[in-house]
Structure 1
Amino acid sequence: MAEFKIVVSDPKTGKSITKEIKDKSAQTLMGMKIGQEIDATIVEIDGTLKISGGSDKVGFPMRSDVHGSARNNILLTSGVGFRSKVKGMQKRKTVRGSMISDETYQINTILVKGNLVLDKPAEKAKAEEKPAEKAKAEEKPAEKAKTKK
């Protein structure tokens, strides 16, 4: 069965979350293309998501201008999957097509409608760890002073 990591980005706040989906909910994404909108209930969010890209299991990026779901070696001058070092440079690079298949590993999405809710308990856990680290830092200078005498 298919298994994907979905990265949901909220352009309003600049925050993003990653969710893993499997089985039936992953099957609903098969055959979708970059630019299509989907229901966000797949990742337990109210609203809609727009597919903006992704990568396959090896790490090759998906391009919206390459049809199908297969890997292709195409001649690039700019855009996704290529960073030019010199103006006018062309290079043949391997990219994945714009259609989601079972070879796709990560799907990047943008939240079009709805609100992105971040997990609050994770933030509290990080806040509790910080005072403990400060206490350890305070103990160390005291130990150094004892060893110098």
Structure 2
Amino acid sequence: MAEFKLVISNPNDGNAKQLEVTGKEANSLVGKRIGDTLEGDKIGFQGYLFEIKGGTDQDGFPMTKRMSGPQKEKVLMKGGTGFNPTRDGLKERKTVRGSEISEKITQINLSVKEVGNKDFNEIMEE
């Protein structure tokens, strides 16, 4: 059974909130990819629309949009998610996860695309 921590950022006010989902709500996220949109009704935010921005797996490795699928691989990187080069031309082999959400993902980062009827902070306090 899947269990995720959702980090939901609201670009309108710059706040981010954390929410844990399990069971049916969490299973609806499995198979989605970075960049996909998610209806807020599935996770308790009526009328909201979210975009999946990324996440990390159980070992702390970040998800990257460059790889399809849920697998973990070592890839040669010259920048981007998981690697910040300290000088020009620097490349390094880093372990990253693919862009698909699986049961091995523990944290999913979401961003608000469309706001629903209720205020974001009011829903989080309930």
Does TM-score exceed 0.5, indicating one fold? yes
Helix, strand or coil: the match of 2:4?
Answer: strand
Q: Does 1:117 align with 2:102?
A: no
Gaps of 5+ in 1: 123-149
Total equivalences in the alignment: 121
**Which residue does 2:6 correspond to in 1?**
6
Report the AA paired with residue 61 of structure 2: F
Distance 1:66 1:17 in 2: 27
Report the AA paired with residue 93 of structure 2: R
Distance 1:111 1:9 in 2: 6
Helix, strand or coil: the match of 1:52?
Answer: strand
**Which residue does 1:18 correspond to in 2?**
18
**Which residue does 1:44 correspond to in 2?**
44
Work out the percentage of aligned pairs sharing the same amino acid. Answer: 35
| Rg larger in structure | 1
More strand by share: 2
More helix by share: 1
**Which residue does 1:68 correspond to in 2?**
69
Regions of 4+ moved over 3 Å: none
> Residue by residue, what CA displacement relative to the aligned partner does 1:12-51 show, whole Å, maximum 9, x if unpaired?
1100111100011111111000000011123322311000
Report the AA paired with residue 91 of structure 1: E
Contact 1:68/1:99 (<8 A) preserved:
yes
**Alpha carbon RMSD of aligned pairs, Å?**
1.5
Distance 1:83 1:113 in 2: 31
Shift of 1:67: 1.0
Helix, strand or coil: the match of 1:118?
Answer: helix
**Relative contact order: is structure 1 or structure 2 higher (C-alpha 8 Å, sep ≥ 6)?**
2
Distance 1:55 1:42 in 2: 21
User: How does the TM-score come out when normalised to structure 1?
Assistant: 0.77
Gaps of 5+ in 2: none
Shift of 1:86: 1.2
User: How does the TM-score come out when normalised to structure 2?
Assistant: 0.90
Shift of 1:108: 0.2
Distance 2:83 2:39 in 1: 31
> Residue by residue, what CA displacement relative to the aligned partner does 1:53-98 show, whole Å, maximum 9, x if unpaired?
0000110000001111010100000100001011110000000000
Distance 1:44 1:11 in 2: 19
